[in-house]
Structure 1
Amino acid sequence: METKPLVVERIYNAPVLKVWRAITDKDQMKQWYFELEEFKAEKGFKFTFTGGDDKEQYLHECEVIAADPPHKLSYSWTYPKHNNGYSVVNWDLSEEGEKTRLRLTHEGLESFPKDHPSFAVSSFTQGWNAILGESLKKFVEEEKAG
């Protein structure tokens, strides 16, 4: 079975360094993403956070795989309570004049439980579209982020 990664692209009316800080500074991340106790864009850095919906919250365990400021960040994304799954989130940033193109690729979604609606590709698609298309967009374009 061939699987394709989930890809979401957005262009922000903000410079690449501002977007990079928004996706790597834990104090900024908690304003638009998730509440992370600690985060460092350094290979090997491990972090956790909790997120989900009204029905259930999930502990996420992640490890930074690659960081090339201010253009690339990759980390693993797993759920310890659902130990049969491993995915990778890639954030690729590129400058387009005064704007920034963000391409998020989430690979490995097919490794998560098939019988759980929270792990369906459609659920991840909806989540990433809201996070990138609404939360991050508002934060980097309207807020006084770094």
Structure 2
Amino acid sequence: MEDRSIRKEITLNIGIDKVWSALTIPNEMKEWYFDVKGFKLKPFNKFYFYEPNGTNFKHVCRILEIMPQQRIRYTWSYPEYSKGVSIVSWRLTSLKKNQTHVALIHSGIENFEDAGSDLSRANFVAGWKEIIETILPNHLKKQMVF
């Protein structure tokens, strides 16, 4: 079976601690990612959010794995629109004191085929591209101390 996971990677000129904070502290997540509700950095913690662009897709997630400053994995689903569940995995690697490699893998998107074109793979690819290549780096640039 073909792996249809979405993979996006970037190397950022900022320390791993700042990147980890951006991925795991709700007030920071709200600034660049989503306004998550109920997020606690604990295994099996369930949280949810809506996209800020006016769509009413409720995203429901459950944390599967936490390796501080290395990896966080969680489910990603839309129970009001689809029976499918996917997995989002963020992996961080410290390359130098102030350089971090970020790898995002979103697998199982094909599980949302019952929800129609709004949850198409193309929409996910475009969304993750913007998040990884533009939104996250722009947010972290604000965090840099000179």
- State the shift of 1:83 in Å: 3.1
Where has structure 1 moved over 3 Å in runs of 4 or more? none
Please say if residues 61 and 77 of structure 1, whose CA atoms lie closer than 8 Å, have aligned partners that are also in contact: yes
- Whether the aligned pair in 1 keeps the contact of 2:81 and 2:115 (CA below 8 Å) is no
Aligned-pair identity in percent equals 29
CA contact (8 A) 2:18 2:143 kept: no
Secondary structure of the residue aligned to 1:112 is: helix
**Structure-1 separation of matches of 2:52 and 2:26:** 19
For 2:7, give the aligned amino acid. Answer: V
Give the structure 2 partner of residue 128 of structure 1. 128
Gaps of 5+ in 2: none
CA shift digits 1:111-136 (9 cap, x unpaired): 10256222111110110111111111
Cα deviation, residue 41, structure 1: 2.1
Q: How many angstroms apart in 2 are the aligned matches of 1:15 and 1:87?
A: 29
Q: CA 1:115–1:39 in 2, change beyond 3 Å: closer, same or farther?
A: closer
TM-score by length of 2: 0.91
Amino acid at match of 1:59: K
Amino acid paired to 2:134: E
Give, in angstroms, the shift of residue 52 of structure 1.
6.6
How much does 1:144 deviate?
Answer: 5.8
Instruction: Letter of the 1:2 partner, please give it.
Output: E
> RMSD over aligned Cα, in angstroms?
1.8
| Alignment-derived partner of residue 94 in structure 2 | 95
- Residues 79/35 of structure 1: CA separation in 2 closer, same or farther (3 Å cut): same
Which SS does the other structure have where 1:113 is aligned? helix
